[in-house]
Amino acid sequence: MSHIRDFFRYARILPLVRMYERSDVRELIDKDLEEWAKYYPTDGTRRGAIISAFRDPYYRVVLFERLQRSGHKGVRRFYPSCPDFQITCKEIGGGFVPFHSYATIILAKSIGENFHVRQCTTIGVSHINRNDEIPAIGDNVDVGCNACILGELRIGDNVNIGAGAIVLNDVPSDCVVAGNPAKVVKKKYEK
């Protein structure tokens, strides 16, 4: 009986696994899965990481974005969208982990490697008629919950953005920012 239950539990992700295996963005998805396994429980196997990540509705949004960019145009037709988490970005680096990303909207020029985001985060335009003025995010960026990153700005590499921060200006690399408006509160690697 458990085999039948397991079949139906995993049958929905089998087409995704097949698309992933034939995809030209497989290397990026592999980096996502590697990072995913650090934070979410899996059985320790590669298959377990794939099943865990592909079943998560928030990671599937990232996966769909990657697969659509690689030519799998019909992927969203077979799976329900996730209204709580939306992402629009032309370049997304590997290692993207959406931590319980309820009510998160991401509209960015680019997102670097190892991007971690939490719930209630808004990344995008600061004014209604300036749709091309959106942020570019570097590598190893961690965004706390309820943060807003708005306008045409650049977030450097190795940056932590505190919970509730309102980022309206460029953020240099290797620092921690917090507050409203966000200011550098600590330089990383400072003695």
Residues 33 and 162: their CA atoms lie apart, in Å, by 25
33-39: long-range pairs with CB below 8 Å, 24+: 34/95, 35/94, 35/95, 35/96, 35/97, 35/114, 36/97, 39/97, 39/99
CA 70, 71, 75, 81 torsion: positive or negative? Answer: positive
Residue bearing the bigger pLDDT, 109 or 130? 109
List pLDDT tens digits, range 115-134: 999 999 999 988 877 778 89
Residue bearing the bigger pLDDT, 28 or 22? 28
Residues of the chain with CATH 2.160.10.10: 83-191
Cβ contacts of 180 within 8 Å, gap of 6 or more: 164, 165, 166
How confident is the model at residue 64, as a pLDDT? Answer: 83
Cβ contacts of 113 within 8 Å, gap of 6 or more: 31, 93, 94, 95, 139, 140
Residue bearing the bigger pLDDT, 57 or 10? 57
Closest by Cα among 102, 19, 89 to 57:
102
Residue bearing the bigger pLDDT, 164 or 79? 164
Encoded tokens for 3? 């085999």
Within 10 Å of residue 114's Cβ, how many Cβ atoms?
A: 20
CA 28, 90, 137, 101 torsion: positive or negative? Answer: negative
Q: Would you say 153 and 166 are in contact if contact means Cβ atoms under 8 Å apart?
A: no
Architecture per CATH, 83-191: 3 Solenoid (2.160)
Calculate the CA 113 to chain-centre distance.
10
Q: What is the mean pLDDT of residues 85-101?
A: 85
Find residue 91's DSSP bridge partners. 110
How confident is the model at residue 51, as a pLDDT? Answer: 80
pLDDT at 191 over 70: no
Q: Say what the pTM is.
A: 0.83
Residues 117 and 85: their CA atoms lie apart, in Å, by 11
